[in-house]
Structure 1
Amino acid sequence: MSSRVCKNCGCRDIDIDQARGDAVCMGCGSVLEDNIIVSEVTFVENSGGGSSAVGQFVSSDGSGKATTLGGVFHGSVGKESRAQTLQNGKRQINNLGHQLQLNQHCLNTAFNFYKMAVSKHLTRGRKTLHVVAACLYLVCRTEGTPHMLLDLSDLLQVNVYVLGKTFLMLARELCINAPAIGRKGFECSK
Structure 2
Amino acid sequence: MSSRVCKHCGSSDIDVDQARGDAVCMGCGSVLEDNIIVSEVEFVETGGGGSLAVGQFVSSEGGLKNPTFGDGHFSGMGSESRAQTLQRAKQHINTLGHQLQMNQHCLDTAFNFYKMALNKSLTRGRKSDHIMAACIYLVCRTEGTPHMLLDLSDILQVCYQCSAVKNDFKF
- TM-score normalised per structure 1: 0.53
Q: CA deviation at 1:88?
A: 0.7
- Alignment length (residue pairs): 113
1:136-185 per-position Cα deviation (integer Å, ceiling 9, x unaligned): 0000001010011011001111120343322222xxxxxxxxxxxxxxxx
Residue 97 of structure 2 contacts residue 107 of structure 2 at CA under 8 Å; is this kept in 1? yes
Which stretch has the larger CA shift, 63-72 or 84-93? 63-72
Structure-2 residue corresponding to 1:118: 118
Q: Distance in 2 between matches of 1:93 and 1:71?
A: 41
Identify the structure with bigger relative contact order (alpha carbons < 8 Å, sequence gap 6+): 1
The one-letter amino acid of 1:90's match is: K
Largest Rg, 1 or 2: 1
Query: Of 43, 67, 78, which residue of structure 1 is paired with 2:34?
Result: 67
Residue 134 of structure 1 contacts residue 164 of structure 1 at CA under 8 Å; is this kept in 2? no
Q: Provide the aligned C-alpha RMSD in A.
A: 2.4
1:104-138 per-position Cα deviation (integer Å, ceiling 9, x unaligned): 00000000000001111111111110100000000
Q: Distance in 1 between matches of 2:157 and 2:137?
A: 15
Structure-2 residue corresponding to 1:134: 134
Q: Distance in 2 between matches of 1:86 and 1:123?
A: 12
Q: Is there any run of 5+ residues in structure 2 with no aligned partner, and where?
A: 1-18, 24-28, 40-56, 58-72
- After TM superposition, what 4+ stretches of structure 1 lie above 4 angstroms from structure 2? none
Which stretch has the larger CA shift, 155-164 or 140-149? 155-164
Q: Distance in 2 between matches of 1:106 and 1:71?
A: 48
Structure-1 residue corresponding to 2:166: 164
Q: Is there any run of 5+ residues in structure 1 with no aligned partner, and where?
A: 1-16, 20-55, 58-62, 170-190
Query: Which has the larger strand fraction?
Result: 1
Q: Distance in 2 between matches of 1:91 and 1:116?
A: 17
The one-letter amino acid of 1:80's match is: E
Aligned residue runs from structure 1 range 36-115, under 5 A = 64-65=30-31, 66-67=33-34, 69-71=36-38, 73=57, 74=73, 75-115=75-115
The one-letter amino acid of 2:34's match is: T
- TM-score normalised per structure 2: 0.59
Q: CA deviation at 1:70?
A: 2.5
Q: CA deviation at 1:81?
A: 1.0
